[in-house]
Structure 1
Amino acid sequence: MFLPYLLAYGRTPWPFVSQLGNYLGALVNWVKLQNSSQTSEGDAAQEADELLFSIVGWHALTLPQNPAQLAEARMDMLAVLLAIGLDPKKSVIFFQEDNPNHTELAWILSCITPVGKLRRMTTWKARLATARNHPEEQQVQDALKDANSEVDETGLNAGLFTYPVLQAADILVYRATHVPVGDDQTQHLELCRDLADQFNRTYKSKYRMFPLPVQLNTPSSRILSLRSPTSKMSKSSPDAQSRILLTDSTAVIASKIKSAVTDSIQGITWDPVGRPGTANLLSILAACNGDESVKETASRYQGKNHGALKRDVTEAVEEMLKGPRREFERLKGDREYLRNIAREGAEKARVKSEVTMKEVRGRIGLA
């Protein structure tokens, strides 16, 4: 029987910290999972043995990076995770690159991964488009919808092509049983399960080496781009006005929301298809308030205009982010504390993963 390890998928350190979509869509739920100490599979709840959160620097290298900016970004990302409420006394928080067991297992898994499976992965195609600074164009949307779509592979490197295998290793090296990921990562989790099953069948023993991890569904808000409200809010978009960063000042937040794309229709109604920009602002407001549904929020604005809605969204976002922003600035100035947290987390991660790797090496004949 596998212990119910829960691995929260890692965050990639970009040259700027997390944006509102990440915060409301993932980070808030990570804190809730940590503090609830419960995971669920279907309707059955079970005690969580451990939660692990990683900052995935090796994944960042699949796209061009400025080394100095990357070094700064990884520490900033750690500060963000702590600022929003993750507690190193309750969870294991670490840099992926501080645990070489991830890459060792990734290589072993790559040796049993069919190239055809990787070629059908949609997200490397989207990331390749992102690298060309076209993250919101139809090319990305088509890639995400069609596993067999053809894309221009100019600039594709082996790391980007095979990074889904490293993602699988990130999970399996801890024998994680639950992974809280969004629908955009479902294909990656399916590959992870396939590779776990392939390893179990290839290197048989009295019991399975790896569990088949399941997706942990948690309520989350899908926050869209302020400038292109049919696409997700993205930290990699070339348009800085399209996203709200956790570190944005009150004035910057107000400016970005004021310039958010809406429509010319009078009144405020909930219509995600016909009025995506307006619906996005309502989603943000409902998520910030947290005590009512988006439809209930919309009903309160039936007789109001976009100006009133944008003003209230600005106030709600500022109120929600001011605490984490203040804590982030404090933590950012204490690099020694951050390094100690990362060092302690990496040691815990290495100890847990080494148990897995010792057995893996034995099963494949390298021990």
Structure 2
Amino acid sequence: MEAPANRVFSGVQPTGNLHLGNYLGAIRHFVNLQDTHECVYCVVDMHAITVWQDPAELAANTREVAAAYIAAGIDAEKHIIFNQSKVSAHAELTWILNCVARIGWLNRMTQFKEKAGKHRENASVGLYTYPVLMAADILAYRATHVPVGDDQKQHLELARDIAQKFNNDFLGEGEVFFPQPEPLIMGPATRVMSLRDGSKKMSKSDASDMARITLTDTADDIAKKIKKAKTDPEPLPENVEGLKERPEADNLVGIYAALAGMDKAAVIAEFGGKGFGTFKPALAELAAEKLAPLTGEMARLKADPAYLDSVLEKGAERARAMTEPVMAEVRRIVGFI
């Protein structure tokens, strides 16, 4: 079976509170990749249920992620938008790859330790094997590239290890069925931090809504959150080096740079030496301006759930057509009849 030459797979979890970090770190870059790659974009609802989700909220959040994809500019006709649970290959391949992956590999996954915290014994098995499902997501499409942030690099390395072990276990020397997917590290602000703590990633699950700018916030909401964002008392430095020991300042400058399409040095050239009383209103105005079209279009799309469901179903049909021959060959390779 011929492998695709330039296929991207990525996904966003439908766990509510889609925020600026999701947009700047992932969704915005998904749009740009359409010009250079064949793109498969998933709403990863199976990943979401590794921790308990309210069923009604999960359905609404799945539609919200689909709306965000479309509103941001992803073309659902040329590329694929679907939700994971509609394509059985994800679950089937996960089981096969569970039998390829090693417990020692999963024990090294730092994200499980972070998410499970002190209550590891009470975490779901799904949360523990989450990285194997991620590997199956990618390998079911034999994707060649995966856009990843810093926190997902380890999971992609695991997917590469699993692909290599599958090939080594079941095929002749030098033969390859699953390609090793390559990471695409995407531009500035791949890691947007909390507005309340510059050492922590902006998160959907943060207890404080003031820690994040969501994709449904109004201009007033954005201005309020940026005004109250944690900073230090010093003015912005005169050069980028001066941001190194100032995580909150560095985060706000990084957000401005990403929204304006410039680098941090250019932001510092404009605002260096000025206080946050000057910089924060400029950032709030820029964020509101850049996010308003996205927010408005998302609201319009979410008001038509039947349309969003049809996009997801059509995408799933195309995704199934892509994965079915892959799974047929996987079954043959491992000896299923």
Output the TM-score relative to the length of structure 2. 0.94
2:30 aligned residue: 30
SS at match of 1:180: strand
Choose between structure 1 and 2: higher helix proportion: 2
1:218 aligned residue: 186
Structure 2 residue corresponding to 1:122, chosen from 78, 93, 110: 110
Cα 1:339–1:152 change in 2 (3 A) is closer
Q: Deviations over 1:142-201 (max 9, x none)?
A: xxxxxxxxx541322211111110000000001111111122111111111111111111
SS at match of 2:95: helix
5 Å-filtered alignment, 1:177-188, equals: 177-188=144-155
* TM-aligned CA deviation for residue 5 of structure 1: 4.2
Structure 2 residue corresponding to 1:345, chosen from 306, 315, 337: 315
CA distance in 2, matches of 1:113, 1:62: 18
CA distance in 1, matches of 2:248, 2:102: 41
Q: Deviations over 1:61-113 (max 9, x none)?
A: 11121111111111111111111111112211100000011100000010121
CA distance in 1, matches of 2:188, 2:251: 14
1:247 aligned residue: 216
SS at match of 2:193: coil
5 Å-filtered alignment, 1:320-339, equals: 320-339=290-309
Cα 1:267–1:187 change in 2 (3 A) is closer
1:258 aligned residue: 227
Counterpart of 2:9, as a letter, is: A
Matched, 1:105 2:105: no
Paired residues of 1:168 and 1:189 also in contact (CA < 8 A): yes
Structure 1 segments unaligned to the other structure (5+ residues): 38-47, 130-150
Bigger mean CA deviation after superposition, 151-160 or 280-289: 151-160
Paired residues of 1:268 and 1:306 also in contact (CA < 8 A): no
Counterpart of 1:71, as a letter, is: A
5 Å-filtered alignment, 1:150-299, equals: 152-205=119-172, 207-221=175-189, 222-269=191-238, 270=240, 271-290=242-261, 292-299=262-269
CA distance in 2, matches of 1:364, 1:300: 60
Structure 2 residue corresponding to 1:52, chosen from 29, 35, 40: 40
CA distance in 2, matches of 1:321, 1:194: 39
Could you say what the CA RMSD is over the residues aligned between the two structures, in angstroms? 1.5
Structure 1 residue corresponding to 2:65, chosen from 77, 85, 92: 77
CA distance in 2, matches of 1:314, 1:67: 35
1:132 aligned residue: none
* TM-aligned CA deviation for residue 272 of structure 1: 3.0
Q: Deviations over 1:266-319 (max 9, x none)?
A: 4554433322212221111111111x3211211211342211100000000000
Using the aligned pairs only, state the percent identity.
41
CA distance in 2, matches of 1:272, 1:63: 36
Cα 1:332–1:118 change in 2 (3 A) is same
Counterpart of 1:119, as a letter, is: N
Output the TM-score relative to the length of structure 1. 0.87
Structure 1 residue corresponding to 2:326, chosen from 356, 364, 367: 356
SS at match of 1:234: coil
Paired residues of 2:234 and 2:275 also in contact (CA < 8 A): no
